[in-house]
Structure 1
Amino acid sequence: MLKVGLTGGIGSGKSAVSAELAEHGAVVIDADAIAREVVEPGTPGLAAVVEEFGEGVLAPDGSLDRPRLGEIVFADEARLARLNAIVHPLVGERSAELMARAEAAGAPVVVYDVPLLVENGLESLYDVVVVVDTPDEVRVDRVVRSRGMDPEQVWARIRAQADRETRLAAADLVVDNSGTREQLTERVAQVWEELLARAS
């Protein structure tokens, strides 16, 4: 089984790439989805986050108010580190469970979709690292349009992540997503062929 680490900064189009790889037949383990799952209401993860950051990070329905928490942690590196210390071990545990399940099912390619792969020095966990690369200005524009975020907030998140050079230096394969959706689909198909060749 080929273990692939897929990464890219906010607004790079990493989710679109992971969705296309899933269509080709990859088993995708999505770290962001797991990170949401481990802090759902009633979980020990959410209790730990509230203990650290206070009741103010809860929405009226008792779920985590992610935008509010984001404003707090992306403005303060020490608080971001404290949040990561709570969430990352829980994500790691759940990911290992899903990875073992994929292995048992005989999946040839497992794609682990992890935004902070480079930032957390996780390259060695994967057989192949695939980086989705998009110019920073394009990423800001996309996030502002798709999520309605304030441009300065998007830049703050970009600055909190690895820069393009660092991310590209960690890549075995690069998916350029500065063009059209059709060009992206074409490039992902090539990457899939390459991954299958490596898996066999």
Structure 2
Amino acid sequence: MKSAAQARIRWRVGLTGGIGSGKSTLARLLQSHGADLIDADAISRATTAPAGAAIPAIAQTFGPEFITSEGALDRQRMREHVFAQPEARHALERIVHPLVGAEIQRQAANCHSPCIVFDVPLLVESPHWRSRLDRVLVVDCSSATQIRRVQQRSGWAVETIEAVMRNQSTRLQRLRAADAVVHNDADDMAALQAAAEKLAHRFGL
């Protein structure tokens, strides 16, 4: 039986987009309009931070060289490793994903807004998500825009960005999965804010 808080939730919205699309910015804008935001990527990062829940299993599976002196996952080393050995990515996911899923459920049970936004970078790649959502919202932009933004934001080499993009669903796959699309090729914050306002109204915020 649903709690009173859960009964007030009318919309469960999955928000996704490729790296550099502006997905996280839109998520924060929707949160500012009153949506409850559950950030799967932030939860995942917390599991691999110093003393994170995934650290012991990562050290056991991959070796202590993948753990920094501060006790966190060595992200650069792991990124290079999983790009070179795709099976390693699946091994990492088997450690991290159950922990992330449990924390998402915990946070969702404590939400009170009429709309929960689940910010999930790999939503399209994870088929189980569709049945748990009322709508899938995709933030879309060209691959050239993705590369430019990530270079400006993180200073990554183009080859690194393209490798990340190859491990995500394609632009076409995301668009096919979408119930609604926010186009974000232009670096126009006012337009993104306007889109967030329309979505907030649509989702009862």
1:60 is displaced (CA, Å) by 2.2
Question: Cα deviation per residue 1:6-25 (whole Å; 9 max; x = unaligned)?
Answer: 10111111110111011011
Question: Which of these residues, 139, 153, 157, is aligned with residue 150 of structure 1?
Answer: 157
Percent identity reads 40
Question: Cα deviation per residue 1:94-131 (whole Å; 9 max; x = unaligned)?
Answer: 000000011xxx32001010000001112221111110
Corresponding residue SS for 1:178? coil
TM-score (normalizing by structure 2): 0.90
Q: Which residue of 2 aligns with 1:190?
A: 198
1:76 is displaced (CA, Å) by 2.3
Q: Which residue of 2 aligns with 1:25?
A: 34
Is contact 1:173-1:191 (8 Å) kept? no
TM-score (normalizing by structure 1): 0.93
Structure 2: runs of 5 or more not aligned: 1-8
Question: Which of these residues, 68, 71, 82, is aligned with residue 62 of structure 1?
Answer: 71
Looking at structure 2, the residues matched to 120 and 74 of structure 1 have their Cα atoms a distance apart, in angstroms, of 19
Corresponding residue SS for 1:74? helix
Moved over 2 A (4+): 39-44
- Alignment of 1:141 with 2:144, yes or no, is no
Bigger mean CA offset, 183-192 vs 144-153 = 183-192
Q: Which residue of 2 aligns with 1:167?
A: 174
Question: Which of these residues, 16, 22, 32, is aligned with residue 13 of structure 1?
Answer: 22
Looking at structure 1, the residues matched to 34 and 83 of structure 2 have their Cα atoms a distance apart, in angstroms, of 35
Corresponding residue SS for 1:137? helix
Bigger mean CA offset, 50-59 vs 154-163 = 50-59
Corresponding residue SS for 1:10? coil
Q: Which residue of 1 aligns with 2:135?
A: 128
CA RMSD of aligned residues (A): 1.3
Shift in CA distance, 69/129, structure 1 to aligned 2, threshold 3 Å: same
Question: Which of these residues, 47, 62, 75, is aligned with residue 56 of structure 2?
Answer: 47
Report the count of equivalent residues.
194
Q: Which one-letter code corresponds to 2:172 in the other structure?
A: E
Q: Which residue of 1 aligns with 2:100?
A: 91
